[in-house]
Chains A and B, each alone.
Chain A
């Protein structure tokens, strides 16, 4: 439901009952069922067989479901990953248009076989290498498959490829992340990354880090963030939603701009700030985002209530 709202996208390991069985209670917008790096080689096959039931477990609380497959094992992984209820397949370490297109073709075949509207499962190329970062535009335009949002170009694997120690006090991924975000925006996708927030400790479990991250992303107009620990969920969901003040201001701007238009003007002032078409469009986007978040939150509440009833 409404997979545009992905304020907190959290990885979950299907092979660990402690994680997968509780995921629905955590309140995340999206869970990524991981077959890749969090799964030990000896556990891969068992993990594949758990994906279908894990979809039903993880989305009980109204979350959307993505599946991260293994680049070297796409043929083995995809038959276990493409099911109704999956919104997105994540292809790690994508570096070329050819490999993206190939995965698109396999998904297309599986969609047809499994009663899924062809082309509706998103295919997200994870950009985790310099080669992927420079080839991003060709990758994104190589298959006729929808993709609402796109980000990346940083993270652990990119650090390996760049030969850097992570968690410096400055933006170590300035070009690759911006290049990916620019390509996404040029193709009318929402950018999901490209905002630097220092994390000198390198820890992935601290809620205050999530709060800072959400604040920086929100200020930049980005509404998506990833998480590796449940402590990130609440700060990200809250921090990336439109605030009551923002919603009230957006209503005022739209009303002021409507008045200007009625008077035949295009630029005016409101509380000392310029009101024009740009600000009006921005206000409309804020309200649209607020409505999307409200719908997602209401959906999650209803789903959570149903799940709790079923459990009791």
Chain B
């Protein structure tokens, strides 16, 4: 646990958790993977997204219904949250085949309008009732892979209270935008779009998950330092986690998409210095030339809360792995 004075008053930091979810690392696995349970368990990912295939010449709905409950159970063994990825086309049939108790929500790809989201929400309303899932608990996350999803991002995020997060599928989005998917530029061509999606998601109380350029696009297998740096940039952009293209990214995402111990120690110093300033009637005090005032103090308090929630999440996963 991050060392923190138990008597420290954090009530000023507000009641809304920031970020909303501790979902630093997300790993996608297929329900056809014979090692699904082992991979999910060993990954230490905060969340698992289950993918399923609509196989030809097979009653895919019957097969999904038969296999999905076991797959959900297997994926959650390591205390990961479990989601199922569905497509916007034929979403009603897909949702009926994959929504079962144990999932935290669905990730919807191919969304282009707010109406797509309200349609999904409507189906979830019914399925929660019919399948014994507490009402209103299933989350809708949006995999952003179309120009329409970007253009209508605010309407989409506001379309349902179930909205939780934007995932940015950069290779698919680039294809949809007619852009090359090779990372040959010296700058991130989607910088503005990423900032937009992060801003919109947070404005409705959600969050955005993504990686920084160029890993976001190439999904290359790279050395640990490169992943660490990419995660740091992604976090400084405002992402709260990433869909990991490789399981090897997970440990870096878990460590990087949250305040580090050094940052937490600095926040404690900020809070102490600011409190001392207030006692002297000063609401703006310097630390090493940096201004410490109300928002900086608030940020320190929020981030300490964040660090402690991360610690609690890590402990829950550790218990599941004993």
Interface residues, chain A, with chain B CB atoms under 8 Å away = 13, 15, 36-43, 129-131, 133-134, 155-157, 159-165, 168, 170-176, 178-179, 201-206, 228
Partner of B191, one of A43, A171, A205: A171
Bound: A178/B192 CA distance, A: 9
Measured CB to CB, the closest approach of chain A to B252, in angstroms, equals 17
Bound: A130/B277 CA distance, A: 29
24 examples of A-B residue contacts, CB within 8 angstroms = A38-B293, A40-B282, A129-B203, A130-B200, A130-B202, A130-B203, A134-B203, A155-B295, A162-B202, A163-B202, A164-B236, A165-B235, A168-B233, A168-B236, A170-B191, A170-B236, A170-B237, A173-B195, A176-B199, A201-B289, A202-B290, A203-B288, A203-B289, A205-B289
Contacts of A36 in B (CB 8 A): 294
Select from chain A the residue with minimum beta-carbon distance to B295: A156
Contact with A along B275-290 (1 / 0, CB 8 A): 0011001111000111
Summarize B's interface: helix, strand, loop or mixed. helix
**Judging by beta carbons under 8 Å apart, are B295 and A204 in contact?**
no
**Judging by beta carbons under 8 Å apart, are A42 and B281 in contact?**
yes
**Judging by beta carbons under 8 Å apart, are A157 and B295 in contact?**
yes
Contact with A along B256-297 (1 / 0, CB 8 A): 000000010000000000000110011110001111011110
Partner of B199, one of A40, A134, A202, A204: A134
Interface residues, chain B, with chain A CB atoms under 8 Å away = 18-19, 154, 191-192, 194-196, 198-200, 202-203, 233, 235-238, 240, 263, 277-278, 281-284, 288-291, 293-296, 298-299, 302-303, 306
Bound: A173/B294 CA distance, A: 20
Select from chain A the residue with minimum beta-carbon distance to B157: A134
Measured CB to CB, the closest approach of chain B to A151, in angstroms, equals 16
Known: A156-B296, A163-B238. A175 touches B192 (CB 8 A): yes
Measured CB to CB, the closest approach of chain B to A98, in angstroms, equals 16
Given contacts A134-B199, A172-B195, A179-B196, 14 further A-B contacts (CB under 8 A): A37-B295, A40-B282, A43-B283, A159-B295, A160-B298, A160-B299, A165-B263, A170-B236, A170-B237, A171-B191, A172-B237, A172-B238, A201-B289, A203-B290
Measured CB to CB, the closest approach of chain A to B19, in angstroms, equals 6
Bound: A155/B240 CA distance, A: 19
**Judging by beta carbons under 8 Å apart, are B202 and A161 in contact?**
yes
Bound: A176/B200 CA distance, A: 9
Select from chain B the residue with minimum beta-carbon distance to A131: B203
Contacts of B19 in A (CB 8 A): 163
Select from chain A the residue with minimum beta-carbon distance to B287: A202
Contacts of A201 in B (CB 8 A): 289
**Judging by beta carbons under 8 Å apart, are B284 and A13 in contact?**
yes
Select from chain B the residue with minimum beta-carbon distance to A16: B282
Bound: A176/B278 CA distance, A: 31
Bound: A175/B195 CA distance, A: 5
Contacts of B199 in A (CB 8 A): 130, 133-134, 162, 175-176, 179
Contacts of B263 in A (CB 8 A): 165
**Judging by beta carbons under 8 Å apart, are B237 and A164 in contact?**
yes
**Judging by beta carbons under 8 Å apart, are A163 and B306 in contact?**
yes
Contacts of B283 in A (CB 8 A): 37-41, 43
**Judging by beta carbons under 8 Å apart, are B302 and A160 in contact?**
yes
Contacts of A156 in B (CB 8 A): 293, 295-296, 299
Select from chain A the residue with minimum beta-carbon distance to B303: A163
**Judging by beta carbons under 8 Å apart, are B154 and A134 in contact?**
yes
**Judging by beta carbons under 8 Å apart, are B284 and A159 in contact?**
no
Select from chain B the residue with minimum beta-carbon distance to A135: B203
**Judging by beta carbons under 8 Å apart, are B195 and A176 in contact?**
yes
User: 10 closest A-B pairs (Cβ-Cβ)?
Assistant: A175-B195, A130-B203, A203-B289, A174-B195, A156-B295, A37-B294, A40-B283, A175-B196, A168-B236, A38-B284
Known: A175-B192, A201-B289. A165 touches B200 (CB 8 A): no
**Judging by beta carbons under 8 Å apart, are B191 and A174 in contact?**
yes
**Judging by beta carbons under 8 Å apart, are A164 and B282 in contact?**
no
Bound: A156/B290 CA distance, A: 11
Measured CB to CB, the closest approach of chain B to A169, in angstroms, equals 9
Select from chain B the residue with minimum beta-carbon distance to A177: B195
Bound: A38/B295 CA distance, A: 10
Contacts of B303 in A (CB 8 A): 163
Select from chain B the residue with minimum beta-carbon distance to A13: B284
Bound: A168/B202 CA distance, A: 20
Select from chain B the residue with minimum beta-carbon distance to A37: B294
Contacts of A171 in B (CB 8 A): 191, 195
Bound: A204/B263 CA distance, A: 20
**Judging by beta carbons under 8 Å apart, are A165 and B278 in contact?**
no
Contacts of A162 in B (CB 8 A): 198-199, 202, 238
Partner of A204, one of B236, B238, B290: B290
Select from chain B the residue with minimum beta-carbon distance to A201: B289
Contacts of A161 in B (CB 8 A): 202
